[in-house]
């Protein structure tokens, strides 16, 4: 019944232990690898992780099992690891595009939070896992594990935030908005649609910017007047 162990420990490490894996520094993926990853994603969206076999992935990619094995000698576990890495690279690359274009802090927060919210709540494979195989995905993102997700997301976000905030403040806000996105993506709310830019702008204006100001003010007051 349970699919524990289906998502290997190494995959979990890959999710969060590569804080330096910025879009620019991502390894080049071969077209074949990407084709296998996309095939695996379609299989997972349809049947989940436990029931997806390497044969399914090969058939979906329109290749022989032998070809897939040549690309991924580690078999299903290796494919899953690469799926997680590629999806994270795509996630951060998409965010990078949006964040670079933001003209001010409010737009940066709105673009980043709604883009992340849309990609998390609209990801077909992730949706299948959350609904049908929560035991595969949740242990990677809850309690102690959540700390690593928060740290990874904060280090990704802080260089963009640092255009407007000090480095320490940028890290703090990066971690904070990650929490906010995770909460609204995991437990839908009547007042906020986390994938909707208009709704997120209201959230940012009402709740996020006041928190940023309060913290910046507190630090300004703590600084000795010369």
Partner 1 sequence: MAGDARLRILEATYTCVARYGLAKTTVEDAARVSGMARATIYRYFPGGRDQLVAEVIAWEAERFFERLAAAVGDTEGLEELLEEALFFAHRAVDEHEVLQKILQTEPDRLLPQLTVESTRIIGYIRAFLMPHMEEQARAAGLESEEAADFVARMLLSFTGSPGRWDLSDRAQVTELVRTEVLAALRPAAGPTVTDDTMRPS
Binding residues (CB under 8 A) for partner 1: these are 2-4, 104-105, 134-136, 138-139, 142-144, 146-147, 150-151, 163-165, 171-172, 175-176, 179-180, 182-184, 186-192, 203, 206-207, 210-218, 220-221
**71-106 per-residue burial string, b: 16 or more CB within 10 A, e: under 16:** bbeeebbbbbbbbbbbbbbbbbeebbebbeebeebb
The nearest distance, CB 131 to partner 1, in angstroms, is 10
Q: Which two tokens stand for residue 33?
A: 């690898």
Long-range CB contacts for residues 160-163, cutoff 8 Å, separation at least 24? 160/99, 160/100, 160/102, 160/108, 160/112, 161/105, 161/108, 163/108
- Residue 14: which residues within 8 A CB-CB, separation 6 or more? 81, 84, 85, 88
Which residue carries 């035991």 as its tokens? 135
The nearest distance, CB 52 to partner 1, in angstroms, is 18
Closer Cβ to partner 1, 11 or 39, answer by number = 11
Cα–Cα distance between 141 and 119 in angstroms, integer? 16
The nearest distance, CB 9 to partner 1, in angstroms, is 13
Closer Cβ to partner 1, 62 or 190, answer by number = 190
Q: Which two tokens stand for residue 116?
A: 């992340």
Closer Cβ to partner 1, 57 or 152, answer by number = 152
The nearest distance, CB 153 to partner 1, in angstroms, is 10
Alpha-carbon radius of gyration of the chain: 19
Cα–Cα distance between 26 and 5 in angstroms, integer? 27
The nearest distance, CB 180 to partner 1, in angstroms, is 7
The nearest distance, CB 142 to partner 1, in angstroms, is 5
Closer Cβ to partner 1, 31 or 218, answer by number = 218
Closer Cβ to partner 1, 30 or 187, answer by number = 187
Closer Cβ to partner 1, 70 or 207, answer by number = 207
Rounded to 10°, the helix 54-61/75-100 angle is 60
């Amino acid at each position: 019944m349970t699919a524990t162990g289906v998502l290997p420990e190494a995959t979990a490490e890959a999710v969060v232990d590569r804080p330096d894996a910025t879009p620019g520094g991502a390894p080049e993926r071969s077209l074949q690898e990407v084709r296998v990853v996309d095939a695996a994603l379609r299989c997972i969206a349809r049947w989940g992780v436990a029931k997806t076999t390497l044969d399914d992935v090969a058939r979906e990619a329109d290749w022989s099992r032998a070809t897939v094995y040549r690309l991924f000698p580690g078999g299903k576990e290796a494919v899953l690891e690469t799926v997680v890495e590629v999806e994270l690279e795509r996630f951060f690359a998409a965010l990078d595009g949006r964040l670079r274009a933001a003209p001010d802090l409010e737009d940066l927060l709105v673009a980043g939070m709604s883009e992340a919210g849309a990609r998390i709540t609209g990801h077909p494979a992730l949706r299948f896992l959350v609904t049908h195989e929560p035991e595969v995905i949740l242990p990677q993102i809850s309690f102690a594990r959540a700390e690593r997700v928060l740290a990874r997301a904060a280090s990704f976000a802080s260089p963009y935030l640092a255009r407007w905030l000090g480095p320490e403040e940028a890290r703090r806000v990066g971690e904070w908005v990650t929490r906010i996105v995770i909460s609204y993506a995991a437990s839908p709310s009547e007042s906020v649609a986390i994938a909707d830019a208009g709704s997120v702008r209201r959230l940012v204006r009402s709740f996020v910017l006041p928190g940023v100001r309060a913290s910046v003010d507190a630090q300004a007051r703590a600084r000795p007047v010369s």
